[in-house]
Amino acid sequence: MTLENKQNEGFDCTKEFFKVFDNSKSINYLDIPSSLGEGFMKRVDIMDGLWIMFHLSKINEKLIIKKIIPDHPMNQLIFRFIFFMESDKNYLSSVQVSNICDVNYQISPKTNVCCAVICIESDILLNLLDLEKADDKMSSFISNFENPFLFQEILTLEMKNILLDLSKHRNDDKFERLFFKTKISELIYEFFSVLFTRASRNFTYINRNDIEKILGIEKLILNDLCKTPALSELARTIGMSETKMKLLFKKIFGNSIYNYYSSARMIEAASILKNDKNISVSEVGYRLGFSSLSHFSKMFKKHIGMKPKEYALKTNKR
């Protein structure tokens, strides 16, 4: 596993963590020093073929999560839950599940983030899911995958609450592994509950290079939420046909590019309303590229469940 931080001071948080990380079958913990940021990193080995690494942090410098585990065997799946606790238009809190370990993820400086990485062998996951025969297609997929795949979903409120529970559990006790095993089960349950709501559960493999390209599309979308994505321009940027790009994006994210963009845009709007006490609803709409306040209000209600003024009042904003 590689967590690369771009800091110039003498203390190397990554190296210090892995001094204790290498001690298997144990609970490993490291406080992030004040010179680097704040928070902690923790790994718990639940059982053979199942472990969780969790960290809560606010890093002073850019953090790049490059790899999850070294020498990753193909019979293991990796769940990566990342919850950004502050408004950050460049990133969206999300959960990924994949059988590849070298998909990069970048965290901006000064960003409060909860991250849980779960590594689980496919037979343990299948036993945990206890799928009926009606789900033979997915059972076969999890049991026999030999090629790269990745699914990504936006974090639900339930997932965020579980991650916050993990962040508060710092002290070891005799029920430590039971606590983490329970939380792992809850996180995996929440992920598959969302995954199974997809209109088309097309559990097929995707070329690793194509996965990287589609994740690049996501970053381009999130980097400028004021601008509606131009599909032809996006396809040209990654060197892929528009038809293939739309198909692969929906396979990974379970949604069209436009719907994903619209949802991210409204999540950002809600985050601004919640975190900025002095901003008006109209200012938020204009900041995100809406020329019509009524259209902004309609879109906000569609994705958030209430009108922006109602949401602002609910979160004690005026």
Sketch the domain layout of the chain as residue ranges.
2-205, 209-314
Rounded-to-integer distance, Cα 191 and Cα 158, Å: 10
First vs last Cα of the chain: how many Å apart?
A: 45
pTM: 0.77
* pLDDT recorded at residue 30: 74
* pLDDT recorded at residue 281: 92
| 11 secondary structure, DSSP code | -
* pLDDT recorded at residue 4: 38
Rounded-to-integer distance, Cα 84 and Cα 86, Å: 6
Q: Which CATH superfamily is domain 209-314 in?
A: Homeodomain-like (1.10.10.60)
Element holding 293 (H helix, E strand): helix 293-304
* pLDDT recorded at residue 239: 95
Copy the structure tokens of residue 179. 């606590």
Copy the structure tokens of residue 88. 């950050």
* pLDDT recorded at residue 151: 87
Per the CB < 8 A criterion, the answer to whether 224 and 264 are in contact is no
Q: From first to last of its 318 residues, what are the pLDDT tens digits of the chain?
A: 333 344 444 555 555 555 555 554 556 777 777 777 788 878 888 888 888 888 777 777 666 555 444 445 557 788 889 888 765 444 578 888 887 655 555 666 677 888 888 888 888 888 888 876 556 667 776 776 666 788 888 888 899 999 988 888 766 677 888 899 999 999 999 998 888 887 666 666 788 889 889 988 998 998 889 989 999 999 999 999 999 999 999 989 989 999 999 999 998 898 888 878 788 999 999 999 998 999 999 999 998 889 999 988 887 644
* pLDDT recorded at residue 101: 58
3-state secondary structure of 92: coil
- Written as one letter, the residue type at 111 is T
In 28-53, which positions are buried (b, 16+ CB within 10 angstroms) versus exposed (e)? bbbebeeebbebebbbbbbeebbbbb
Copy the structure tokens of residue 4. 């690369």
- Written as one letter, the residue type at 21 is F
Rounded-to-integer distance, Cα 290 and Cα 43, Å: 44
* pLDDT recorded at residue 15: 58
